[in-house]
Amino acid sequence: MTEPEVIEMINSHASAAMNSFTIYLTLTFAFLTTIYVVGAKLSKTQAVVVTLLYQAWAISFGLVSITHLRAFDSIAREYPEFMRSQLFTLPWSYFSLAIIVFGLLVSLSYAISNRKESSLAAKVNIADG
């Protein structure tokens, strides 16, 4: 490949990875906001459905991001002479994987703790009322 072709492929994979990661972040913060605002009002079934939908979509966009970053990493390793910065040679796919897994686990634990707190608050209100 020529240098312009390598740069175009790097740009293409980096852009696609950033777009997918942005969607993942949007889904994560939408889920956290939903759980915070209306989590206590959701039934157990609704909470499970919302959580499963979030997990499925977040995982799919996270995997798309990782796939493009692996291609990016592969091109950077194959054509090191065209890489203008040491930042291109960092293992971005592993970094992204760590962030995505951490975000999924934190979101799930927050949803579970929020449900426990809301059910405890409901029991206290029933006992007081």
pLDDT digits (tens, 9 = 90+) for 35-64: 988 888 888 888 889 999 999 999 999 999
Q: Give the tokens for residue 9.
A: 């492929």
C-alpha distances in angstroms, 121 versus 40, 41, 85, 118? 9, 12, 54, 5
- The H or E element spanning position 73 is helix 44-78
pLDDT digits (tens, 9 = 90+) for 75-119: 888 888 888 777 777 788 888 899 999 999 999 999 888 877 665
Which pTM value belongs to this model? 0.79
- Dist. CA 128–CA 79, nearest whole Å: 69
- Tell me, what amino acid is at 40? A
